[in-house]
Amino acid sequence: MKTLVATWCFITAVVLAASPLSCSRKTPAEASARVEAKAGHHAEGAEAGDTHRGAGSKKTSDLDRPLEELFAATCEHRKKTFECDECRYEVGVVRAPASLVEGGLVKMAKAERRKVDVPITLTGEVRFDERRVGHVSSQVEGVVKQVHVALGDAVKVGQPLVDIESVVVGEAQSTYLEAEAMLEIARRNFARATELRKENISSEKEYLGAKQEFDAAQIRAQGARGKLSRLGTGGGTKGRVVLRAPMDGSVLVMHAVSGEVAKTDESLITVGNNTTVWVWADLYERDIATVKQAEASGKLAAAVSVKAYPGVEFPGTVDLVSPAMDESSRTVKVRVVVKNDDRRLLAGMFAAVKLFLPGTDETLAVPRAAVLDDEGRSFVFIHHHDDYYVRRPVVVGRAWAGWVEIKAGLKETQTVVGDGAFLMKSDVLRSKMGAGCAD
């Protein structure tokens, strides 16, 4: 995969080096010569009967030109435009080696007929996936003496997080030390009584009494030791309890501050990972039967959107419909699992949730990743020949659960670029970033 990424980066670097962005490195004389050369080339095209560009008219977009014309066009470098590293973007063509497809960096998809899912919209809230986080709190009240980590820090299981000084812990440590001392005395008494009994110097009653005291001292010492272990003292004797990371991950929430009082009913630190989050949505009673019926036929797809990222939908899957109803709101909780690898979704965000229920209407559709936009127009990339891909206009309709309806522009079973299409778009539209600097 590293080789594939390096190949793609090399291709992009070569193309960008030849793009208008490089004009900042040209001298005025070179820029002027380039302008004159392009003007002469376009004049020749006009004399040859180029109907797509006339004096004072705007250049026709490659999206409006037939494929035959795009691949027959020649550029100012006296070669086929689609073969020119500097000019192929003018005809909407991208060159992507087959290795990128074989390695999965670019994935192909087919236009196919699919049933259109019908969405219902709910309101919800983003929360941590409780299976992936741990809330760290103290079992005793005390004062936070030292905080070993900061928000966002990576931690390992068992790593010290917070030191808390507590009177309760101090008393428990004193009890433990006392129990250990009494155990040592009882052990010596029992050892002596055992020797005396072997020599018939002491009675059976004295021997059994020493044994009973030794057993009782062991029980008290074990109890005191167990209490310290549960408190998390880490073997210390300074009246402190050490809170440790329950799992590998990072510090997601931090409430611990040195000098503050730690209470038993408050979480001081939340540790884990949020690469997957839960979105809890409220399902009204009128929709319960429909959702239950759809859920019985398989996993329900969902899409989550938040105000922080307008126009962006995060795909998810319904994995639980609560078996109980909230009596106050008369709603049922629905849990949607959402991948959050880029960590854009934060716990506590309010969200709009679409649940996609199976519909009966069927239409031609492609994966959402395949459809791109440029200046209000939608297009896809199709494979033309060899390593060359070209963008073609489409008319889109409804969108649902990762799919987009295609009303015009594609035929059934026609292959388009799915994942990786955005990389191709970036390459084709690179010239717009420097438009006007050399033309």
- Closest Cα partner for 125 from 250, 235, 2, 277? 277
For residue 44, name the pLDDT band (cuts at 50, 70, 90).
Answer: very low
Domain membership of residue 174 (yes or no) is yes
Please report whether residue 198 resides in a domain.
Answer: yes
pLDDT digits (tens, 9 = 90+) for 246-295: 999 999 999 999 998 988 889 999 999 999 999 999 999 888 988 888 88
Judge if 283 and 251 occupy the same domain: no
What is the reported pLDDT for 88?
A: 85
Reference 119, options 305, 296, 348, 394; nearest CA is: 305
* Domain, as residue range, for 303: 117-131+274-358
Is there a single domain that holds both residue 214 and residue 162? yes
Hey, what are 191's tokens? Answer: 């050892």
Domain count across the chain: 3
In a domain? residue 231:
yes
Q: End of a domain among 358, 373, 392? A: 358
250: which strand partners? Answer: 154, 272
The reply to whether 266 and 394 lie within a common domain is no
Say which CATH number the domain at 55 has.
2.40.420.20
More confident residue, 371 or 118: 371
Residues 80 and 151 in one domain: no
Q: Are 92 and 429 in contact (CB under 8 A)?
A: no
125 and 153 in a single domain? The answer is no
Is the pTM above the cut of 0.75? no
Residue 152 and residue 245 in one domain = yes
Q: Is residue 439 part of a domain?
A: no
Bin 393: left if φ > 0, else alpha if -120 < ψ < 50, else beta.
Answer: beta
Q: Quick check: 395 pLDDT over 90?
A: yes
Amino acid at 339: K
> Does 53 share its domain with 93?
yes
The last residue of a domain, from among 252, 271, 290:
271
As a whole number of Å, the end-to-end CA separation of the chain is 38
Which of 244, 236, 222, 223 shows the shortest CA–CA distance to 173?
236
79 and 60 belong to one structural domain: yes
Same domain for 141 and 267? yes
Residues 198, 179: Cα–Cα separation, whole Å: 28
Among 253, 271, 289, the domain boundary falls at 271
Distance CA 204, CA 130 (A): 59
Using only C-alpha atoms, the chain has a radius of gyration, in whole angstroms, of: 36
Which pLDDT score is estimated for 322? 92
Here the CATH number for the domain that contains residue 323 is 2.40.30.170
Position 281 in a domain: yes
Q: Can you tell me the mean pLDDT for 200-221?
A: 89
| Helix, strand, coil percent content, the chain, rounded in steps of 5 | 35, 30, 35
